[in-house]
Amino acid sequence: MNLQSIKQRFGIIGSSVALESALATAVRVAPTDLSVLITGESGVGKEVFSKIIHSLSPRKHNKFIAVNTGAIPEGTINSELFGHEKGAFTGATGDRKGYFETVDGGTIFLDEIGEMPLDTQAFLLRILESGEFMRVGSSKIYKTDVRVVAATNAALIDKMQTGKFREDLYYRLNTVPISVPPLRERKDDIYLLFRKFAVDFAEKYKGEVVRLDEEARQILENYAWHGNIRELKNIAEQVSVLSEDRIVGANEILRFIPDARKRHLPAVINKENGSGENMQEREIMYKLLFDMKNDMNDLKSLVFNLINSNNLRVPDLKSQASYQALQESAPDNNFYSPSNTFSVNENENLYEDEPAPRFTSEARNAPTIQLEESLSLEEMEKEMIKKALNKHRNKRKDAATDLGISERTLYRKIKQYGIE
């Protein structure tokens, strides 16, 4: 089955490279029993990918269940997932099967896996490794054959470092990772999705489909969409209901998304309370440029001090050919000008054991050497990112910390500059 038919079957709209890459990974892993970890922001459609994996797997005729682990209270989640025995706790009036028992042979989708309590994580790890579990209040071991597809919008690596998520469970779940891109990285798909939602709404309520003019469309495509597809669908339905005109312009669309005109510039950090990133990207670049300039000036001063305080030997400049070649190689460099540095006596042999010529006072007052420096912030930023990644062996979190930016910003910059 090709990707286009899968999109039609599951109602997926879009053709961005990142989206199709995620779909291709889901299709490839579907026939196996490997655990899958789907990552992405809230509202990007992670559950759809779990349904694709189940529908294309040998388990497709068995049960599929989606469980939002973040919505289940901590005191009852073990009972919900693994079941309980009669009298296991107050209110347990009878035996109850959990999801892992009732979905035996099928697929279970665990959404918001990062919110799962630590003790539940230990039980889940046992199921993933051996297929064994125990009901709450029982010592009997049960067996189940369930494929687990997990999803999260949280940074599990951060939770691991703070002790809120088990490292062994993370690597067991993350056998095959699938990253679903946010809507703002799929700009060409935004208007297509808006049209789809507007048409669906018009058909449902037997009304006329709303359309956007070019300026309104550009506003829509350049908006950040922090709520992703869920937020876009809400806006499409609001416009369909509340807009008086069926051709919606820029002023009209701004009624529904007034933040679309705001510029999302870096915020000023309050260093006293320790919140936010340590340094913004632009500040890093400026600091790097100033540090490099200071280093170059220090290096120049060091060279002149060494020349003036030591008896340094110099090449033989008697040969006119050598002199001309040297001049041609640095025609604008005052350092190599004899008139500004020293004079050579034609009868002197500079390679004999006699005092080497010293620079004249003119050398001490010679103009500062001006080196051409690249002031491209993009190039400097790219080089800094490469150095940080090399330093930390491509560990993005450590590199981001070293650079003073968030891991998400580093990921975006890596994609922007095509850094491998």
265-307 per-position pLDDT tens digit: 444 444 444 444 444 556 666 666 766 777 777 777 666 666 6
Contacts 24+ apart (CB under 8 A), 260-265: 260/219, 260/220, 260/222, 260/223, 261/219, 264/224
Tokens of 375: 């002031």
Region of poorest pLDDT, from 57-61, 107-111, 201-205, 366-370: 366-370
Q: Which of 95-104, 214-223, 336-345 has the lowest mean pLDDT?
A: 336-345
Listed residue (149, 136, 129) closest to 56, CA to CA = 149
Residues 81 and 123: beta-carbon distance below 8 Å? yes
User: Which residues partner with 132 through β-bridges?
Assistant: 143
- Residue of 57 and 400 predicted with greater confidence: 57
**Helix residue spans in 117-227 (DSSP H):** 118-130, 156-161, 167-173, 187-205, 214-222
Is there a contact between 140 and 75 (Cβ–Cβ < 8 Å)? no
Residue 78: name the closest of 135, 146, 150, 24 by CA: 135
Most confident of the following: 54-58, 339-343, 347-351, 352-356: 54-58
Of the candidates 72, 75, 157, 53, the one whose C-alpha atom is nearest the C-alpha of residue 111 is 72
Check residue 336 and give its pLDDT. Answer: 43
Report whether 118 contacts 166 (CB < 8 A).
Answer: yes
- Homologous superfamily of 3-181: P-loop containing nucleotide triphosphate hydrolases (3.40.50.300)
- Return d(Cα 17, Cα 12) in angstroms, integer: 14
Report the percent of the chain where pLDDT is more than 70.
74
Q: Taking all residues of the chain, what is their mean pLDDT, rounded to a whole number?
A: 80
| Lookup: tokens for 184 | 């703002």
Is 185-261 in the same CATH topology as 3-181? no
Kindly report the CATH number that applies to the domain delimited by 185-261: 1.10.8.60
Q: What is the DSSP letter of 64?
A: E
Residue whose C-alpha is closest to residue 43's, from 217, 180, 238, 145: 180
Of 298-302, 317-321, 339-343, 386-390, where does mean pLDDT reach its minimum? Answer: 339-343
**Domain residue ranges in the chain:** 3-181, 185-261
Cβ atoms within 10 A of the Cβ of 389, count? 21
Pick 221 or 307 by higher pLDDT: 221
Query: Do the beta carbons of residue 156 and residue 110 sit within 8 Å?
Result: no
The predicted-structure confidence for 142-162, as pLDDT tens digits, reads as follows 999 999 999 999 889 999 999
What are φ and ψ of residue 170, in 5° steps? -60, -50
Asked if 57 and 147 touch (Cβ cutoff 8 Å), the reply is: yes
Q: Give residue 349's pLDDT.
A: 46
Mean pLDDT of 380-409: 83
